[in-house]
Amino acid sequence: MTSHELHAGRTALVTGGSRGIGRAICRRLAVEGVLVAVHYGHDRAAADHTVKEIENHGGRAFALHAELGLPGDADQLWAAFDHILDGQTSEPGLDILINNAGITIPRGIADVTEADYDRVFAVNTKAPFFIVQRGLPRMRDGGRIVNISSAATHIAYPQIVAYGMAKAALDYLTLSLAQELGPRGITVNTVAPGYTATEINPKLAVPEVRQKYAQASVFHRLGAPSDIADVVSFLAGDQARWVTGQWIAASGGAHLGR
Ligand code: NAP
């Protein structure tokens, strides 16, 4: 089987697919034959860029807008998805859902405001919860759900306490859904990136910070978005049919030792 046939005929939705890790996941799934909905919240140009890149390599994708973290966000997302899919030649419905969109609040407990707390949970926890709830009727049996969490949920990281809590709640969603969706043959897993070179953390622009984060990995480098996308692609494919309810760190062994 060539890589082009791995996921052929399937449809995926990648939240936050326009940039960073999500963009790499979109590209990777598209190379494998998936029709990809490239979701974005604010930056249409980035989403269009990702779609164009995919099309230039012979893949199929479309941009999908919905700002997450607002009341009704999941309904808005699925309405846009249904509307666009109506105009495609593919079957309606979904095979692969990647809950990737996320924000960080880089503050310790003393400085987190109520608004910060509500926002990080609204985008990182509440949005995926209702996207799954409203998406399940559209999902075909045998489907795949991958939640993008963070390696930070398994280590103490006081500087991003609210972010870590929001992602830890998402980890629980994986466990619970995996149990519930087993009878439909749908697998649900978490991929937990470590320090990855994207725009989510502005401090990564500082060379000393980059260096410090790179040293956390046993390979002494930052993760690339494609390092995460390869793991997600495996979990989204048939070869991972026996893997569900798992939390898989894609962190280059970050913080394995001291
Ligand atoms: P990124 O480069 O900042 O990209 C974030 C993506 O999420 C963008 O597509 C963005 O689209 C979308 N997004 C953010 N807020 C949104 C909102 N309110 N509504 C709709 N879309 C929204 O981040 P990344 O590093 O790729 O992160 C991807 C995931 O990996 C996140 O869940 C993050 O927590 C997790 N993660 C990242 C790292 C890391 O070191 N990079 C480490 C651990 C975990 P718009 O800009 O258009 O809104």
Instruction: Answer yes or no: is the C-beta of 62 below 6 A from any ligand 1 atom.
Output: no
Q: Provide the pLDDT confidence category of residue 5 given band limits of 50, 70 and 90.
A: low
Are 111 and 153 in contact, with CB atoms under 8 Å apart?
no
Q: Which of 13, 14, 21, 190 to mutate to test the pocket of ligand 1 (most atoms within 8 A of CB)?
A: 21
Q: How far apart are CA 37 and CA 240, in angstroms?
A: 22
Q: Which of 130, 159, 198 to mutate to test the pocket of ligand 1 (most atoms within 8 A of CB)?
A: 198
CA distances from 49 to 196, 224, 252 (A): 21, 19, 28
Q: How far apart are CA 165 and CA 103, in angstroms?
A: 13
Radius of gyration of the chain (CA): 17
Q: How far apart are CA 251 and CA 253, in angstroms?
A: 5
pLDDT value of position 96: 98
Nearest CA residue ID for atom 33, ligand 1:
102
Domains located in the chain, CATH noted? 3-250 (3.40.50.720)
CA distances from 89 to 85, 134, 199 (A): 8, 23, 34
pLDDT value of position 4: 52
Per-residue pLDDT tens over the stretch 109-164: 999 999 999 999 999 999 999 999 999 999 999 999 999 999 999 999 999 999 99
DSSP state of 153: G
Per-residue pLDDT tens over the stretch 191-247: 999 999 999 988 889 999 999 999 999 999 999 999 999 999 999 999 999 999 999
Check: pTM over 0.95? Answer yes or no: yes
CA distances from 32 to 29, 81, 132 (A): 5, 21, 23
Q: How far apart are CA 26 and CA 101, in angstroms?
A: 12
Mean pLDDT of the chain: 95
CA distances from 172 to 98, 194, 236 (A): 16, 19, 19
Q: How far is the CA of 201 from the centre of ligand 1 (A)?
A: 10
Between 124 and 91, the higher pLDDT residue: 124
Between 155 and 7, the higher pLDDT residue: 155
Q: Provide the pLDDT confidence category of residue 1 given band limits of 50, 70 and 90.
A: very low
In this predicted structure, the answer to whether residue 60 has a pLDDT above a threshold of 90 is yes
Query: To which H or E segment does residue 187 belong?
Result: strand 187-193
Give me the active site residues, please: 163
Here the tokens at position 20 are: 């960073």
